């Protein structure tokens, strides 16, 4: 099984969170760490599992590397890829577009045939007005806020990693 944590990071926060996540997922889940800027949209087809990390940039926009991937996904068949998401956002300053990038990217990956539904998290401990990252009342992945709730990041990653580890045997068996 080819599995990776693929992240994009403008300020370095998503990269730091990616490293924390890799450590918390070990030893049960081993993922290659990949900077999205080294990939093309077609390269995503090579993975059986992609844990995608994306910050919401500016006002509800995708991070630059992920934007490049997004712009080139039309026609790419991701039906052999299972995806899970984590996103970074700032609910204090951008409460109407909090975690939008995570939702925009997730929906596009699903539209291209990827399997999702893994690692959805509660919105309860977040304070925001609107988010494209919310699907059926839950975030479509792990939502983190290094700007106004950084003290909760470690705990959120630990809890989320445990749930991903629990789902992992099913993910592996469906990829084979």
More confident call, 138 vs 11: 138
Residues forming beta bridges with residue 135, ordered by sequence position: 138
Beta strand pairing call for 49-57 and 82-88: parallel
Of 52, 73, 72, 27, residue with least CA distance to 116: 52
Query: Between 167 and 138, whose confidence is greater?
Result: 138
Tallying the residues shown for the chain, one arrives at 176
Q: Where are the domains of the chain?
A: 3-175
d(CA 167, CA 73): 27
| 3-175 is a CATH 3.40.50.360 domain | yes
CA distance to 30, 103, 139, 171, per residue, from 2 (Å): 10, 24, 26, 12
Is the model's pLDDT at 46 over the cut of 70? yes
Q: Mind listing the pLDDT tens digit for each residue in 99-117?
A: 999 999 999 999 999 999 9
Buried b (16+ CB within 10 A) or exposed e, 16-28: ebbebbbebbeee
Note whether 159 and 24 are within 8 A (CB): no
pLDDT band with cut points at 50, 70 and 90 for residue 25: very high
Query: What's the pTM value of the predicted model, to 2 decimals?
Result: 0.94
pLDDT at 57: 82
């Amino acid at each position: 099984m080819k599995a990776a944590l693929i992240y994009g990071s403008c300020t370095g926060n998503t990269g730091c969170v990616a490293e924390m996540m890799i450590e918390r997922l070990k030893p049960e889940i081993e993922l290659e760490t990949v900077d999205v800027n080294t990939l093309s949209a077609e390269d995503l087809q090579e993975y059986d599992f992609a844990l995608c990390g994306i910050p919401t940039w500016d006002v509800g926009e995708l991070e630059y590397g992920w934007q490049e991937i997004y712009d080139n996904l039309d026609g790419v068949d991701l039906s052999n890829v299972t995806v899970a998401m984590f996103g970074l956002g700032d609910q204090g300053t951008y409460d109407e577009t909090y975690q939008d990038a995570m939702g925009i990217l997730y929906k596009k990956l699903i539209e291209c045939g990827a399997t999702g539904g893994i690692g959805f998290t509660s919105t309860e401990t977040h304070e925001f007005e609107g988010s494209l990252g919310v699907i059926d009342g839950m975030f479509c992945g792990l939502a983190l806020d290094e700007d106004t709730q950084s003290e909760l990041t470690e705990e959120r990653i630990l809890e989320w990693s445990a749930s991903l580890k629990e789902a992992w045997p099913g993910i592996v068996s469906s990829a084979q």
